[in-house]
Amino acid sequence: MASAKTVTATFIVAAPVNYQLTVKKTGSGSINSDPNGINCGSNCSANFESGSAVILTAVPASGYEFNSWSGCTPFATNPLQCQVDINKAQTVSATFTAVAPVTYQLTVSKVGNGAVSSDLFGINCGSDCTENFASGKLVTLTAKPDTGATFVSWSGCAAVAANPLQCTVKMSKAQTVTATFAVIPSGYTLTVNTTGNGVITSNPLGINCGSGCIKTFASDAVITLTAKPADGETFVRWNGCIASATNPMQCRVTLTKTITVTAEFSNKTTLEADIQITDVVLTPISPSAGKSFTAQITLKNIGNIALASGSHLEVWANEPTGQSCGAIGDAFADDIGQLARNASTTITVKLIAPVKGIQRLRVFADSQCKVTELSERNNQLIKRYTVK
């Protein structure tokens, strides 16, 4: 240098270097970045400054789980996250896989002859009585009896009230359901026994003897039995059938099962009245809860002498249990009154309807048990009715 000189150096701020980060997905889920930029979903590429660290977070969609990262460094403490150091353009891949649904096995067992099917495809039992269903599924089973069979009951599922041939199963574990079918019998036996001396006949024909008569009739057949006392005997009562209101020496039975009826005869000539409740009519037929209604009660003296005055009558708006002498009802009549042999009378009482539902109105004639009767068995009667 021949002389002193001055040198000036000028520096400028260089524009930052950015690199593109691209995210690719397999399966259903989303990827978000920190710092913001990636929201994949919809935005799967963004530019980030060289030297920065980008954290990616995977969020699986419903029914999927996160499987793996490629192109970044996963976090040991949280495998749903990974880190990318931005020093060049890079691509990261995230893989999601569908989660296999949890299933439980439903097994149908049958007793008797019939088939069971499911509303969801799988059970057709018949032949296919086992199937796997997804957890939480509600499966409806339907029973179909074979010809000559009837459905009896379900076990292991919730019967459908509106259709007893169906039941439902909530699949929260492996379960077994049993459907029971039974053979419909072609007929049932009716056995007639007697105490004392007399003969019992039937309509339709089949019974015509004293004690120990046995006859098979068709299912659901309605049989009328008639008692004929031997000389010197009187007919007392029936047990096991519905006595006729107009002719106490007859009764009726419907054969829905095997039934035994007993007819009682006696050689004692007993002169007694006998009060029988023959009918109860409600007005209105279905009263409203808490409202008044009337019960028109018809009574008949089926004894062999007239009924004297002084018989008490008690009525309950809802009483399913048989009552004892002296019981006090919701309404009463002080005196049934005098009643000739085979004569009837009608008494009307006012009651208050109880709560809504099926109720049992009970009538108790001679409730104080002051009258000596041929039979005390017909002094109480229940009438079912509906309260609105």
Which tokens hold the place of 73? 């460094």
| Residue found by looking up tokens 């691509």 in the block | 91
Strand-pair partners of 346: 298
Q: Where are the domains of the chain?
A: 18-98, 103-183, 187-266, 275-387
Q: Identify the band that residue 155 occupies on the pLDDT scale cut at 50, 70 and 90.
A: very high
- Its pTM stands at 0.40
Q: Check if CATH label 2.40.50.140 holds for domain 275-387.
A: no
Tell me the fold of 103-183: Ubiquitin-like (UB roll) (3.10.20)
- Give the whole-angstrom CA distance, residue 240 versus residue 260: 6
pLDDT of the residue at 212:
74
Distance CA 316, CA 69 (A): 80
Instruction: Check whether the bond before 187 is cis (ω within 30° of 0).
Output: no
The pLDDT value recorded for residue 268 is: 64
Which residues, at least 6 apart from 351, have a Cβ–Cβ distance to it below 8 Å?
Answer: 292, 293, 294, 295, 315, 317, 330, 331, 361
Percent of the chain with pLDDT over 70: 98
The CATH fold assigned to 187-266 is Ubiquitin-like (UB roll) (3.10.20)
Across the range 34-39, mean pLDDT stands at: 95
Burial readout 228-252 (b: 16 or more C-beta within 10 A, e: otherwise):
ebeeebbbbbbebbebbbeebbbbe
Q: Residue 213 pLDDT more than 90? A: no
Token reading at 213: 């008569």
Q: ∠ at Cα 22 (17, 25), nearest 5°?
A: 165
**pLDDT of amino acid 245:** 80
The pLDDT of residue 16 is 79
Residue 384 has pLDDT above 70, yes or no: yes
Quick check: 75 and 82 in contact, CB under 8 A? Answer: yes
Most confident of 68-77, 186-195, 225-234, 257-266: 68-77
The CATH number of 18-98, from 1.25.40, 3.80.10, 1.20.120, 3.10.20, is 3.10.20
Q: Radius of gyration (Cα) for the chain, nearest Å?
A: 44
Secondary structure (DSSP) of 61-125: PTTEEEEEEESSEE-SS-TTEEEEE-SS-EEEEEEEEEPPPPEEEEEEEEESSEEEEESSTT-EE
| The two domains 103-183 and 187-266 share their CATH topology (first three levels equal) | yes
pLDDT at 370: 86
What is the mean predicted confidence (pLDDT) over 242-262?
91
What is the overall mean pLDDT for the chain?
Answer: 91
Q: Which residues contact 11 (CB under 8 A, 6 or more apart)?
A: none
pLDDT in tens, 178-209: 999 998 878 899 999 998 889 999 999 999 98
Q: Which helix (H) or strand (E) holds 352?
A: strand 344-352
CA 308 vs CA 5, 37, 336: distances in Å: 155, 105, 9
Contact 374, 274 (CB under 8 A): yes
